[in-house]
Each structure stands twice: as structure tokens, then as C-alpha cells.
């Protein structure tokens, strides 16, 4: 497998069966192409995993976050990036918010506000609470596999994430 440092726009054009000129009309470099793909992937995942209508807002948020963590860990693209080119994620984890981060925070904030209204989530600083939920989720998604010695241990970690978020958000 080739990491992004060795991948070229020509490689992407060949794989997508389009011309390099077509790619360059929309993106300046490989990093932008991959970032756009990541945004599409995680938007699709988040919309699918957080789109639950039953239960309290807290139940929907906690269940959705745990499902999203699980789906992210199982996502082929994320697994490939972590295996081949983990440095790609560092700017988003250490230096700046990407489009995905902003969108995820918006969804979490919206859920927290709904939970405050329905009484299932304690009142407080919604922005800070959403950031805390997201950082916790990232930790379980990205480093959970490194700690789990067997696949079933990821289920145990997911149960712990569920309990942690339930207790953190409860009134």
C-alpha cells in the first residue's frame, strides 16, 4: 500500500478513471482530495449512526457516539490511513479543526441542547461538553484497537465508553 506521501494526483486520476486536469480543477493536491473523501465518509457515518429517533436525547447521543466510534474503527479508509500514513491525521488531532470536527461538534451540541430541554442531560456549557464528548470518542476510536488484545475487548471498551458518557451527561 502506498501512503499519501508517495501517492500522486496521477495515481488518483488513474484509479478514478479521470484526467489529472479534472482533479486539479477541483483540488490542489493529494491531501485535499483525501480530506474531501474523509469528510464525505465521516458525514455519511455520522448521519447514519446518529440518526435515531427513539429514547431520550441522552440515550440517542450516547448510543450514536458509541455506534459512530465502532463504525469509525471498522471503516476501511480510516484503518488504511492509520496503518499506512497515520501522520495524515496529526494536523486534525493536534493543530486545527477540520470540516469533520466542526460538523461532529455541531451534531453533538445539538443533541446536548435537546437533552437539556428534555431533562436527560444536565445544563451547563454546551460547547465545552460537546468538545469533551468528541475528544473522548476520538480516544476510544483511535487508540482502542491498540489497547485491545482481542477483538472482543473492543466491545468491552465500547461498553465502558457508553457508561462513561451516560454518567458524564446525566443530570
Per-residue pLDDT tens for 24-64? 999 999 888 888 888 888 888 877 777 677 899 999 999 99
What are the residue ranges in the chain where pLDDT is below 70?
Answer: 1-3, 51
Q: What pLDDT shows up at residue 81?
A: 84
The closest of 65, 73, 68, 49 to 166, measured between CA atoms, is 65
pLDDT recorded at residue 130: 98
What is the CATH architecture of 32-169? Orthogonal Bundle (1.10)
Tens of pLDDT along 59-74? 999 999 999 999 999 8
pTM (two decimals): 0.84
Contact call for residues 125 and 112 (beta carbons, < 8 A):
no
Amino acid at each position: 500500500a502506498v501512503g499519501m506521501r508517495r501517492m500522486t494526483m496521477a495515481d488518483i486520476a488513474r484509479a478514478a478513471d479521470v484526467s489529472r486536469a479534472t482533479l486539479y480543477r477541483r483540488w490542489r493536491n493529494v491531501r485535499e482530495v483525501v480530506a474531501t473523501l474523509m469528510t464525505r465518509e465521516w458525514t455519511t457515518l455520522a448521519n447514519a449512526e446518529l440518526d435515531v429517533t427513539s429514547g431520550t436525547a441522552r440515550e440517542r447521543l450516547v448510543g450514536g457516539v458509541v455506534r459512530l466510534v465502532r463504525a469509525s474503527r471498522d471503516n476501511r479508509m480510516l484503518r488504511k490511513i492509520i496503518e499506512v500514513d497515520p501522520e495524515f491525521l496529526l494536523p486534525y488531532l493536534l493543530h486545527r479543526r477540520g470540516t469533520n470536527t466542526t460538523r461532529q461538534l455541531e451534531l453533538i451540541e445539538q443533541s446536548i441542547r435537546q437533552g437539556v430541554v428534555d431533562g436527560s442531560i444536565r445544563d451547563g456549557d454546551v460547547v465545552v461538553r460537546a468538545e469533551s464528548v468528541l475528544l473522548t470518542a476520538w480516544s476510544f476510536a483511535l487508540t482502542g484497537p491498540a489497547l485491545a488484545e482481542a477483538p472482543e475487548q473492543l466491545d468491552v471498551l465500547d461498553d465502558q465508553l457508553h457508561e462513561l458518557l451516560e454518567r458524564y451527561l446525566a443530570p
